[in-house]
């Protein structure tokens, strides 16, 4: 399952971060690294972007970026 497929209020653990080059490095720099717990807080009315809670802060991601992050739902 990807982060983009998770419902609001659900939590999971990041398994892998996809993407290539600069995009992947940017995601990793924001704290989206494997074995990190993440919770989907909100989804925008039109479905893009989503807000997640990770490592004690809120982060907003585009759905395209969230689709590159594999998670295991708790």
What are the pLDDT digits (tens) for 15-70?
999 888 898 899 899 889 999 999 999 999 988 899 999 999 999 999 999 999 99
Task: Tell me what pLDDT residue 59 has.
Answer: 93
Residue showing tokens 């704290």: 31
Rounded distance, CA 11 to CA 53, Å?
A: 9
pLDDT at 70: 95
- Domain of 57: which CATH number? 2.30.30.90
What is the structure's pLDDT at 50? 95
Give residues with Cβ within 8 angstroms of 44, minimum separation 6. 50
What confidence category does residue 1 fall into, taking pLDDT thresholds of 50, 70 and 90? Answer: very high
Which structural domain, as residue segments, surrounds residue 26?
Answer: 3-73
Stated pTM of the model: 0.86
Distance CA 29, CA 10 (A): 23
Tally of domains within the chain: 1
CB 60 within 8 A of CB 42: no
Could you tell me which residues are beta bridge partners of residue 20? none
């Amino acid at each position: 399952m990807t982060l983009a497929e998770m419902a609001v209020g659900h939590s999971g653990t990041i398994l892998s971060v996809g993407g290539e080059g600069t995009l992947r490095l940017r995601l990793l720099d924001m704290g989206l690294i494997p074995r990190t717990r993440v919770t989907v807080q909100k989804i925008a009315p039109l479905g893009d972007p989503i807000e997640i809670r990770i490592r004690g802060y809120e982060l907003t991601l585009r759905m395209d970026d969230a689709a590159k992050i594999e998670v295991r739902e708790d």
